[in-house]
Structure 1
């Protein structure tokens, strides 16, 4: 089920990834713009999104599209949600940690999703009700039982603004219990790394739909749990997300909600 959509999702991510590889560490600084303070976009983002959109439009012209750079168009009931370059600041600085995220959503949520790390040739894919794979092999979240000793990922950006005190307070509660916390700068890739068991959990505030659209499906289909910071299901609208194996995730939320 959804085989054609999964194939389109993967093909589009690969098309975007190919474009990005051609730009990495070769960007003309004149083509880098600041959308808002410390939030940048480059010609690589736009070229990747154009390649992804062309691939998806050819295969499924009846579906809508929402991209980070170009916005939304077409059918809003079933549409692709795309981040053509998640980790743009990393990319423009030459830091080798970024990815492409492509997902299809309908009224029930995510249908298929793909997070592609072109530099490492890691392709993470999931289908609703069909499981999740890492380079074609089934993947599962880690077996970590709880928050104590967990290896976690998080994220925070300049745009966190007045939410910083809340994040900082939560970090102060989580930090003493974790084995390690990493902030690598790509939410979609962090979610993929939770889904395959590299990380034991992940938490962040203020994510956008394109940041999480594919990753949340990866986590769910890999056996993980996800809620907002209050333990509810308002994470898509708020962008406040806490994920991980069930034991880790529940104890993580207990710390975040205080």
Structure 2
């Protein structure tokens, strides 16, 4: 059993509470939506879900720090919960069911004499799709209705780019970073491409339904839960710079066999 089993159970409780709040307002005609300073939308449901999760954590893990997309950082210490209350807000506000609550626990670790952070628990809950995925370090990755009703996840064994399926979010970010030529070359060379976006391609990599995915601009809360789920399913999750984990401001995930080639295409 993982050292983080109790934290994983708590993350499921947090996801249950968030799911109830977000589904209650999904497709509501009077849903209030604002534009944040970075010009991305935020709905009342984003804020309500994060407040709910923070309230639960305050009671259950009062010593732990919290970082959330809507309300920032709170607390200090060697354990930190990372929350994206609705990953895919643009989908949410348009009635597209591809959105999820992302919850991760990160702990401090020593790497080559330096203190870093590693995600050790991740839950991705997509209630409008009726799907949930989760993992805890050392315990594998799973999908299902609950901890008691779950199927273990395993990445694909596709080993050649020309046989591989690649998922991405959009073209504009690659163009803005000057990485579009390599991105387009990859789309020409691989077997299949689809623009799913947000959390979903990472979960499909973990399931073995997609072989690799990448995004050129992300925040920690977009990646932390995805990273531990992909790795526990046997895959690799790095930045475009090859650094392991959700620390680079961008992401590449794969079944592992294709990872170095994937990074070769997408690096400047």
- One of 126, 140, 144 as aligned partner of 1:131: 140
Secondary structure of the 1:166 match is coil
Determine the structure 1 residue equivalent to 2:229: 218
* In structure 2, C-alpha distance between the alignment counterparts of 1:190 and 1:58, rounded to whole Å: 33
Determine the structure 1 residue equivalent to 2:147: none
TM-score using structure 1 length: 0.91
* Aligned partners of 2:241 and 2:248 also within 8 Å: no
Determine the structure 1 residue equivalent to 2:115: none
Please list, as runs of the form range in 1=range in 2, the aligned pairs for 1:188-203 lying within 5 A after superposition. Answer: 188-203=199-214
Structure with greater contact order relative to length (CA < 8 Å, sep ≥ 6): 1
* Aligned partners of 1:201 and 1:244 also within 8 Å: yes
Return closer, same or farther for 1:40/1:146 CA change in 2, 3 Å cut-off.
same
Secondary structure of the 2:178 match is helix
- CA displacement 1:110-145 (0-9 Å, x = unmatched): 111100110122111101111111112211111211
* Aligned partners of 2:135 and 2:228 also within 8 Å: yes
Please list, as runs of the form range in 1=range in 2, the aligned pairs for 1:16-31 lying within 5 A after superposition. Answer: 16-28=18-30, 31=32
Secondary structure of the 2:163 match is coil
TM-score using structure 2 length: 0.88
* Aligned partners of 1:114 and 1:214 also within 8 Å: yes
* In structure 1, C-alpha distance between the alignment counterparts of 2:23 and 2:106, rounded to whole Å: 27
Return closer, same or farther for 1:197/1:166 CA change in 2, 3 Å cut-off.
same
- CA displacement 1:22-76 (0-9 Å, x = unmatched): 11111525x2111136410010100111111222222211111100001010124
* Aligned partners of 1:115 and 1:189 also within 8 Å: no
Which structure features the higher share of helix residues? Answer: 1
Q: CA deviation at 1:232?
A: 3.1
Structure 1 stretches of at least 4 aligned residues deviating more than 3 Å after TM superposition = none
* Aligned partners of 1:189 and 1:215 also within 8 Å: no
* In structure 1, C-alpha distance between the alignment counterparts of 2:203 and 2:50, rounded to whole Å: 20
